[in-house]
Chains A and B, each alone.
Chain A
Amino acid sequence: MKVENTKAQMRKGILEYCVLSILSKKECYPSEIIEQLKAVELIVVEGTLYPLLTRLKNSDLLDYRWEESNAGPPRKYYELTKAGVSFLTELKTTWGLLSKAVNQLENKSL
């Protein structure tokens, strides 16, 4: 069993949550999302984000709009839909429970 695989599995689970969380603060275009995810070392390669965004959008959790850019190609700004917001709320609760569970288990002296 490779540690890389397990790490990837763990990241995978929270990546959707993090993306939705970022977008809940303000609408972003992919590069901004990438920037933030990279800053906290949640993604290794940028490509990872795109299938995720597509899936979230296909599930109607995200919507987007186009905006012109001064330098370079136009940008696609993503934002949460109503369904996305409630989805995120649910995830937030779950994450809270999970992180609490993990903390408790780690700190508990046997």
Chain B
Amino acid sequence: MKKTTTINLAGMVYHIEEDAFQVLNQYIADIKRVFSNQEGVEEMVADIQFRIAELFQERLNKNKEVVTYSDVQEVMAIMGSPNQFDEDFEGNEEEQTYQETSYEEIPKRLYRDTDEGMLGGVSAGMANYFNIDPVIIRVLWIVLVLAGGSGVLIYIIAWIAIPEAKTTAQKLQMKGQSANIDNIRAFADSVKNEAKTGFKRASKSVKNTFKKKDNPISNVAKAIGRVIGFGLFLGGILGLVFLVLFFLADFNFFFINNEFIDGDVNSLIGLFFTTTVLASWLIFAVSIIPLIFLIIAGGMLLFNQKPKSRALILTLLILWFVAIVGLSFIGIRTGLDFKETYKSQEKTYVEGNYPELQVNIFEDEMMITNAMDYDFDRYLSISENEVKLGYARIEILPASDSLFYYSVEKRSNGGTLKSAKENSEEINFDIEQVGNVLNVSAKYGFPKKSKIRGQKVDVKIYVPVGRRIILNGNLEDYPIRLQTKARFNDDLLEQSSIWESSNLGMEYKGFLE
């Protein structure tokens, strides 16, 4: 079964097989081209078409209504190639030179080779142009994509900018073959043979018809391509599994840039974005689509196969861009929520007149006795309603007042000053005086709904000159510092330490026995 098309040849209607039509069309175009410098070429071509119509007529009858490919071949053999017409009688100089040029290799043009291509045929087309194996170019694309993703954009631009080789003539030109009738016939024959056997892709044999010998470099390239393909494929699958697990499973902790984060991805996303569900999906899409591409690209290299559906790839690509745009949009909106900063400060005097004040730091209702090896910079934990973000910074300094006092500064960002203020007011931080002991909680938190908006808590404890302060526990790595005369040395906090206030700063008095 073959598809046919209808043509008007010399005023008669003929049903003709599509491949036959292609060849015939090219044949006539070729005649026009060869005789283009002769006066009255249109009329001559019309005459030839009359003759062809006649020859078709001889081949059609009641039982055969369609002009077949072999009919066209026969007719073309009878008529001869345009170069043959020429050769038989054209003797003048001009025609001779014309003939020579028509047999020369014509300059190649860059086309997209969609027969050989995996996606848009850009790589295959470039490979034709540079006469190298497409695998080499595909590997280069992947390197470009992995190195910052610029490859994606360049590929799309190339896809749009480079025309597709549609006609037989263009396909030949792409391969640097002159579109003369012999090449076209060879091309059409190979397409046809493949159509007959039907097993392999037609283009394979087309490729073989015109391909120069397989060279070792191309084989090496193919082997490298396979290895890289395997790597990409495996990497993509692993990435995909992890990504899905992160989003779907309830992983309660993981590491990002060596920072310990307590909470699953979805709640983490919810901490930043006001539109949590949308943001989750966008982030999911933005991260999963490249992995899918990685798998597809790897598979393509590994099995040297075209993807089954280009539409799928295009859809994914479009989705990816939409997701990136969407994410940028809500990212910018979220960023704007950091525009304004508000600080609230609350000063509290310690009740009673003590010669010395002890400071205990609590984390999760446990006093920190040994703060070795903690990364106190940005610890994040998420519970049902509250987010705990980091540790309050503590500074201890001398004061000219006669009473101990402390100030708590709560700081937050917000889209407006008002919302920044609201955010700062929502920060929960406990500091409590019990007798001569100040119990300070290490972490501060805020309700989930206020989102992470750069909340910070700074505690300053003021010690009257001449009075002492005792810092309990090993606080060497805790974000605490004392205003000292010389540079502050946190080795002095390795054990519970005693400090005395003076006009020059806090003075170290030794460890507590």
Contacts and interface: CB of A to CB of B under 8 A. Distances in A.
B91 A51 contact: no
B38 A46 contact: no
B35 A46 contact: no
Given A53-B47, A54-B38, A57-B40, A48 B89 contact: yes
A57 B38 CA distance: 12
B50 A51 contact: no
Contact of A51 (B11, B12, B78, B85): B85
Given A11-B88, A73-B12, A58 B54 contact: no
Contacts of A96: none
Nearest to B50: A73
Looking at chain B's contact residues, the main secondary structure is: helix
Task: Name which of A47, A50, A54, A57 has the most chain B CB atoms within 10 A of its CB.
Answer: A47
A71 interface: yes
Nearest to B41: A54
Contacts of B31: 47
Given A12-B91, A51-B35, A45 B51 contact: no
Contacts of A75: 50
Given A44-B84, A51-B38, A30 B11 contact: no
B439 to A, nearest CB: 106
A47 B79 contact: yes
B85 A74 contact: no
A45 B509 CA distance: 116
Contact of A43 (B9, B87, B88, B91): B88
Interface in B3-30: 9-12
A55 B41 CA distance: 10
Contacts of A50: 44, 47-48, 51, 85
A53 B88 contact: no
Given A44-B80, A46-B79, A53 B44 contact: yes
Contact of A76 (B12, B47, B80): B47
Interface in B60-104: 77-82, 84-91
A86 interface: no
A47 B85 contact: yes
Nearest to A29: B50
A67 to B, nearest CB: 12
B491 interface: no
Nearest to B34: A51
A45 B12 contact: no
Task: Name which of B41, B44, B86 has the most chain A CB atoms within 10 A of its CB.
Answer: B44
Interface in A1-19: 8-9, 11-12, 15-16
A35 to B, nearest CB: 11
A30 B85 contact: no
B57 interface: yes
Contacts of A72: 12, 53-54, 57
Nearest to A52: B89
Contacts of A44: 80, 84, 88
4 A-B pairs closest in CB distance: A45-B80, A12-B89, A73-B10, A72-B57
27 contacts: A12-B91, A30-B50, A43-B88, A45-B78, A45-B81, A45-B84, A45-B88, A46-B78, A47-B82, A47-B84, A48-B80, A48-B88, A48-B89, A51-B44, A53-B44, A54-B47, A57-B40, A57-B43, A72-B53, A72-B57, A73-B9, A73-B10, A73-B11, A73-B12, A74-B11, A75-B50, A76-B47
Given A47-B80, A48-B80, A50-B44, 15 more contacts: A8-B89, A30-B47, A30-B50, A44-B80, A44-B88, A45-B77, A47-B81, A54-B39, A54-B43, A54-B47, A55-B38, A72-B53, A72-B57, A73-B12, A75-B50
